[in-house]
Amino acid sequence: MKLNRIISLLLCVLIIMTAAFPAAAEGDEVQAAKKIISVVYDDSGSMKGDRWVYANYATQALIALLNEQDELYVTYMSSPSKAEKVDLGNIEKVIQNIQNWNHTGSTPGQAIDTAWEKLRESGEKDPSAQFWLVILTDGDRIEMSMDLQSKLESIRGDSMSNGTGLNVVYMGMGPGAARATGDPDRGLYTFHADTNQSINDTMKDVANLISGRLAVPDIVQVDSNTIQVSSNLPLYSISVLLQGSQAEIVSAETNEGKLKLVRNLGLSSIDPFRQTGTILQGKAGVLVMKDSANKTQVIPAGQYTIVFSEPVSKDQVTIQIEPAIGLKIDLYRGGDLITDLKDLQTDDSIDIYLRPVIAGTDQTILPGNLPQGVKWSVEYEVDGTNKGSSSSQELKGIKLKEGGNIIRGVMQIPGFAPLVFERFFRLSYILEHITIKAEQPDPLEYYRSRLDHKYLKQGRYDEGNITFSILLDGTKLNAQQLQENDIDLKVDSITCSGKKVKCIFPVRCVLKLEDDGTFVLYPTEPMWFTWSMIKSGDYEVQVSVIRNDSLKADGHFTLVPRLSDTFISILTVLVLLFILKVLVYDLFILDKFPRKRIVVDSYMINSDGSGQLVGSKRIRLGKLKGYNMLLIRRENRIRINGVTLKADEGSVMVDGRSLSRQFSYGTSAQDPEISGEFIMLGLREIPRNARLNDLMLGQTPLYIRTNENDMSMWSMKIDG
């Protein structure tokens, strides 16, 4: 039927953006390589009707079945200047937005530029990541300054952030769609379909090209709610599309354990402009295997049983499997496996073998379990020039050359994107024939307080340094020769013995390359610390060639303290202790005043016994009030009229020793302006040499009389 053919087309579209057989990185979690996809979606007026329904439904299915690690951007031709990122963390909302999309416009070429630029902005560095620009349109002419063919050719193969080339897919739908010619060898794939049947067949080819998924041809109906499928290959995931039913996936398992359903979304589409015509409905789900830590693992080859919540027919179900195939390149020299590329030397003769493995492991996949018609190729390049190739899984008798070496293995499954794996290493004749020469005065001494100058013990300036030179067959290499051959020195170790001053840090050393190829060693102070914290004594510094650790050399010098250094060191220690005291003790240990105000009032006693207020002030307390950073004491203190107040765990205390120097004291809640003489006569006289305890200051005034012969008193309290 016509509708069934179109539904088959949609099933192909939904798998376009899934993984393309990348080799997963070894580790606890095994996933297909990340894909960064930018889709140009034609929502022009000519798409209205059933074509809109099918395209909208296919887009929903495409998004529903993407892998978790992928990135997807959609540029609608009705809004050509904006590439919208699809939030794969909230797929259900995205699907709903796609269902409700109802804008239309023309077919501007700006949409292609916008989608292309979004890929160019990516900072992805993973070399296995793939970049895809997908253009889906039924337009007969895309509005831009150049023709479609020229546009596609100008962007295909564009270098992405990880060094890979951009893959461009153009799909023209319908007899009136614009046409273009592909260039598959350079990353341009073009497809055209005029009828429903040809659209179906063509979209299958597109899916085979871009996708790493295989359609399962044999689906077994176990019972009304259960189906079974099988695979001879290990898998990253299993995708399930259910057409014409809203049944849920209840469970899925293999002989090795249960699978986890990470997506199970409802799909639906209808012409949003007329709300009539064809209606499409279905479900899309993705199954993976997770371990106890919820990390994705490879699904073992075998049989898979899927149970639905209600009866389904196997004719309603499309299953796509995503093979988890990795590729290893094994190198042999004289029959021995090379496990470390650093062991390779110029002029070595090696044999190269390609080996398909279960992704994330070293377990070989048997040839009988691979799809039929697999093709292999091996290439050996040096500095971009091909030095040998083979159309099989092996390349023997390769003689390694000096320069940047690349061994490239390619596994090509018919109709699918190739699986490519590369091993890179650099060989240099120079590295195998160079020596290091070290030169220096003996003895060589530095004052640790003057590391910007070189001194002998007598104190005079000395132009000597520790220097290292790289010699090739006895001839010194200059800086340009060293850089061209990627040769550099590094400081391996710095040891200090015979310490004359035991301090905290050893001296640091840096190497500076001069134009004539001389590496000069300079001792420097440790970062963020002064010379007074540097250990003095006899130092040995060892250096080595970065790309050949077996080539080493060393130098010796003495770091000498001066007499003045000792006093400066003591001063430095005192300053550091003071800073430590302020930062630790004062901020975290020293007791602080609460945020209160102290009210201080002064009274004269009138002849009629009343008190007359003659002065009043308020003193605001806070963390810094009464703080003296030069003294180490338990609490903050302030002095008022000869009486000391001090902080005590959030309270304000009157110091008993300072209070004992007054004549009399006491508390009273009476009004001093009415009962001033009565309050004064009630104050407790302080005996000579008395030892008074500290008093807590509150909201009830504390009255103090300083002189027996003076008819005055003063009070203080915490402002309520």
List of residues 6+ apart from 146 with CB closer than 8 A: 154
Query: CA 211, CA 15: separation in Å to the nearest integer?
Result: 6
Report pLDDT for 712.
Answer: 94
Contact (Cβ atoms closer than 8 angstroms) between residue 300 and residue 236 = no
Cα–Cα nearest to 31, from 128, 127, 124: 128
Report pLDDT for 456.
Answer: 42
Report pLDDT for 454.
Answer: 52
Report pLDDT for 23.
Answer: 36
Report pLDDT for 628.
Answer: 77
- Predicted confidence (pLDDT) per residue in 18-71, tens digit: 333 333 333 467 777 788 889 888 777 666 666 666 667 767 777 777 777 788
Sign of CA dihedral 298, 304, 306, 312: positive
The residue to which tokens 């840090």 are assigned: 505
Instruction: Give the count of beta carbons closer than 10 Å to the beta carbon of residue 626.
Output: 19
Pairing outcome for strands 548-560 and 445-447? parallel
What domains, with CATH codes, occur in the chain? 2-323 (3.40.50.410), 325-427 (2.60.40), 436-564 (2.60.40), 597-718 (no CATH)
List of residues 6+ apart from 576 with CB closer than 8 A: none
Query: CA 161, CA 157: separation in Å to the nearest integer?
Result: 12
Q: What backbone torsions phi and psi does residue 691 show, to the nearest 5 degrees?
A: -115, 100
Report pLDDT for 41.
Answer: 81
* Burial degree of 367 (CB within 10 A; 0-12, 13-18, 19+): exposed
Name the residue type at position 236: Y
Query: CA 231, CA 298: separation in Å to the nearest integer?
Result: 13
Partners of residue 131 on adjacent β-strands: 36
Strand (E) or helix (H) holding 420? strand 419-427
Q: Which residues of the chain have pLDDT under 70?
A: 1-28, 45-55, 58, 102-107, 145, 185, 195-212, 271-278, 414-418, 429-430, 452-463, 499-504, 526-533, 562-566, 568-569
3-state secondary structure of 654: strand
Report pLDDT for 49.
Answer: 65
Tokens representing residue 417 in the block: 């994107």
The residue to which tokens 């530029």 are assigned: 113
Question: Cα angle vertex 426, ends 396, 376, to 5°?
Answer: 35
* Burial degree of 650 (CB within 10 A; 0-12, 13-18, 19+): exposed
Answer left, alpha or beta for residue 39, where phi above 0 means left and psi between -120 and 50 means alpha. beta
Report pLDDT for 192.
Answer: 83
Tell me the pTM.
0.52
